[in-house]
Structures are given as structure tokens and as C-alpha cells.
Amino acid sequence: MVKAQEMVELWRGGLLESTHRGHAVICDETGQILQAWGDPGRVIFPRSSAKMMQALPLIESGAADAYGLSTAQLALACASHEGAHMHVDLAGSWLKDLGLAEGDLRCGSHEPMDRTERDRLISGQERPCQLHNNCSGKHSGFLTVNKHIKGGSEYIEMDHPLQKAIRTAIEEVGDEDIAGWGIDGCSAPNFATSVGSIARAMSRYAVASETGSVRERAMFRLSRAMAKHPELVAGEGRACTELMRAMQGRVALKGGAEAVYVAILPDQKMGIALKIEDGNERASQAALVALLVKVGALDAAHPLAQKRLPALQKNWRGFTTGELRLAEGFAPNA
């Protein structure tokens, strides 16, 4: 078994304080591995980085076109948004257009990450609803497919036709059988597969054409919608949104819980997947920046890259206390 590779270090007072190890894969346009760190065969839960794969049935079933979905709605279907007004409003109007309501969602409620919306709820003595859930866009997409195929209301059950279609799609685009499954934070199944398989899938999104097969057209539409609407995919201050803006819509990025990130790079005809073993998000963001710089997609000097690598650590008085650095041997020349 190949061990995880040291990728990101935290230094304080001139001494190494923490080391974050992980696995990363870059695949070319044919799905072959160009470069890997750690174990390409390491099976992980992709968590929310799988959303653009979970959204494939939304287009392939004909549901997206049947209900006239916009590029903004397609981006929201792939999002882990922060529950800002724009996210909540778009998800709510989407459900209304379907003749459905917030109660039809199965994602659960949580406090929005967006501070303005959170403060509005508190001042109005309101409770958050399922539209504030960071996965409400994905679930709105699920409900769109479900209505189109006339499926049962419990669309998150493993034996539901929608989840069966999602499983098949993930296996096919990654060219690997699912290793298992678990329940994600939004109650939907999350299918485990290898880092290499996920990178391979992302490379196929990168070379997908708007004039290709049904699947290729679906992959093209989803990745381009994400790149067009970075503010919907995550939100202000979030890594996915800021880094996609820094690359001016040329790359689609998606993070997942427990320090997973993927990248779709049409210009380079590459796909990237990475996982930090200890689940540390600051490390996964730094590793992602290193890989994007390495393949020529991101300028290392861009302020939004510098914000994450080398990321200065500051205390509550504004004193610099440390710095994130790349570990020796990871993403050289980044």
C-alpha cells in the first residue's frame, strides 16, 4: 500500500509545527495519469466534490431541458453554497417553478454560513430552513429529475431510480466500480471511489464538447455553468468562488468536506483530484493552489492564490504567527 505523501506544512517561530499528508492525481485528456502523489488507488468519499457527477442525470434524463433550467440553476445544482440570499432565493424560486416547496427537500436545515443572512434570521427571530442548506441546489436538481421521471418522494433512498442512475454515472465517468457508499451530510448517498478515478472523471469533463454525445454535452454544460457562476458554487470569500474568479472562468473547481478538491481544466485538457488525509481544509486549499500553479492554470502571484499559499497565519491582534508551506517533493516548480 502506497503511503500518503507529505504535502503541506505549517511553520511557527522557524520550527515545523504540523504536517498534512495526502493523495493527488493529475490525469490527461485520455484519462491517463500524468503525475501522482501518494496513492492514486486510495479509496475516498468524494463528498461534495462529486456534485457535478451527481448532476449528470439532471441533464441526461432530459429533465433540465424539460423544465428550462438556466445556467445559474445548473451551477447551483453543483454547489456547496453558503446560504446567502441569492442562493436561498434561487433555490426557492426553482422549487416554486416545479410546483414544489421547501418541505419536499430531504437535505435538512442548518444555519447559513453567510453572515448577512444568518444575522437577518437572528434579528427577525426566524429559524433557518432547508433552503439554507448548502446542498439545497443539489437537492433541487434531484427533485427536478424525480418529477420528470415520476419517482417516489424519498429520492435519497439507495434503491430510488435517481440514486441508481447517479451510481452508474459515477462508475462510468471514472471507469471504476464503486467501492462502497455512505450517507453524506445532506442525507444523500455518497459513493466511494479512488482519487485516480475522480481525476479521470474530471479530465473527461475537461475535454467534453457541446456537440458530443449526450454525456459529453451534459459534462460540458455543467462545468461551464460552474465556471460562469462562481458565486453560486460556493460564495463570497470561499476558495472555489475566489479561485475560479482568479482564473477568469477558465477552470471549474469543487471542494468537498474532509479536505477533498477537484479541478476541471479545459485549456490544459486535464483533471485534478486531491484528498488531505487528516481532513484539514487549509491544507487542501494550499495543495490545490500548488497544483493549479504547477499546470499553468493559476498565477502564483495572484492575491487570491497568495491568500492560500503561502498562507500567513495571524492571531487576533494581527500578528503573523506562522506560514503554510509546501512540503519538499510535492508539486515541484509550483
pTM for the complete prediction? 0.96
The fold adopted by the segment(s) 22-279 is Beta-lactamase (3.40.710)
Supply the pLDDT for residue 197: 98
Amino acid at 219: M
The DSSP bridge partners found for residue 271 are: 27, 264
Supply the pLDDT for residue 334: 59
Q: For residue 20, which phi and psi values (nearest 5 degrees)?
A: -115, 125
Distance, in Å, from the CA atom of 86 to the CA atom of 248, rounded to the nearest integer, reads: 21
Cell numbers representing residue 68 in the block: 428550462
CA torsion through residues 102, 107, 111, 114, sign: negative
Supply the pLDDT for residue 331: 77
- Rounded mean pLDDT for each run of 10 residues along the chain, 334 residues in total: 92 96 98 97 98 98 98 98 98 98 98 97 97 98 98 97 98 98 98 98 98 97 98 97 97 98 98 98 97 97 95 93 94 70
Sequence-ordered list of residues with C-beta below 8 angstroms from that of 303, at least 6 positions apart, any chain: none
Amino acid at 155: Y
